[in-house]
């Protein structure tokens, strides 16, 4: 795939081509996962929605939308009927990518470069991260998005319950960002606005923590416990400050600092590494903003 030119840190940048698949596969070795045939699961013909759901592409209701909207082919032929049966040996593709089955669960972190959308579909001006992911990650789903212009950690898995736990508001999974600005607001003004909350388009946007990292480089650390669309950019826009670069460095206890990974590449991890214990959280330490005072 040819390299693309995108925007990041306020200047043109060359985006990486898709990493060599063998390197990415090696990064996931040791997890005990291997590809196998669908007939080993079902033993015979199966309805297409169940087939796609079992392959990790979402719930049966979600994959039904993929089918009826014309995104699925069987043996090269477009299918939109939900009663379509998949026979052993059939070739099923979603958005042109072969549907593959994996034994057990895979947990992968992806260092997303700017210029790619966290989406299952690609468009001319919005290429998908799946154009960069290796073959053994094509069936994985993601937990939470990063906007196209942002960089950093994206969590991928075929374990639906694990992904739901990350996104569930009750788990309060924090996300840490390093943000480069065109100018620094006053620290007190920024803290007051971000802790009290910024109202934008009827939504209350808050940060768990915000602080200046480097005045010369105009970098700020922001920690969120929620994930609304373009939240950090909208919050700084309320202070009339423009975000030049937004880099998500951690989700929960899972951090790119502990897994140095080049942009466009993946690494493996175990679920407990992301959830961890609050007292060992490298982001919040002993601080728990949801603990009720005695």
Residues 126 and 122: their CA atoms lie apart, in Å, by 6
Q: Which of 147, 159, 200, 281 is catalytic?
A: 147
Distance (Å) of CA 84 to CA 77, 80, 92, 111, 144? 12, 8, 12, 37, 31
Show the tokens assigned to 113: 């470069």
Q: Which residues make Cβ contacts (< 8 Å) with residue 113, sequence separation at least 6?
A: 6, 8, 15, 16, 132, 151, 263, 264
286 labelled catalytic: no
Just list the catalytic residues. 147
């Amino acid at each position: 795939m040819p390299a693309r030119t995108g925007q990041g840190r306020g200047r043109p940048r060359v985006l990486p081509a898709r990493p060599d698949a063998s390197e990415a596969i090696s990064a996931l070795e040791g997890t005990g996962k291997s590809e196998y045939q669908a007939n080993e699961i079902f033993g015979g013909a199966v309805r297409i929605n169940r087939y796609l759901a079992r392959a990790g592409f979402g719930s049966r209701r979600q994959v039904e939308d993929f089918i009826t909207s014309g995104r699925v082919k069987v043996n090269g032929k477009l299918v939109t009927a939900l009663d379509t049966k998949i026979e052993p040996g059939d070739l099923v593709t979603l958005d042109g990518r072969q549907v593959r089955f994996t034994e057990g669960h895979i947990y992968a972190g992806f260092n997303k470069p700017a210029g790619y959308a966290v989406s299952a579909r690609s468009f001319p001006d919005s290429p998908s991260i799946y154009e960069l992911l290796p073959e053994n990650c094509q069936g994985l789903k993601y937990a939470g998005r990063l906007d196209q212009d942002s960089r950093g950690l994206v969590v991928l898995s075929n374990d639906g319950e694990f992904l739901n736990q990350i996104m569930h508001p009750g788990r309060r999974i924090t996300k840490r960002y390093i943000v480069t600005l065109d100018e620094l607001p006053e620290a007190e003004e920024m803290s007051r606005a971000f802790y009290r909350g910024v109202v934008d388009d009827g939504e209350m946007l808050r940060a768990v923590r915000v602080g200046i990292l480097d005045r010369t480089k105009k970098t700020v650390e922001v920690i969120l416990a929620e994930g609304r669309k373009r939240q950090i950019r909208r919050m700084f826009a309320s202070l009339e400050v423009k975000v030049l670069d937004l880099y998500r460095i951690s989700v929960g206890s899972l951090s790119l600092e502990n897994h140095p990974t080049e942009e466009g590449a993946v690494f493996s991890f175990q679920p407990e590494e992301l959830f961890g214990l609050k007292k060992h959280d490298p982001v919040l330490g002993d601080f728990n903003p949801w603990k009720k005072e005695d």
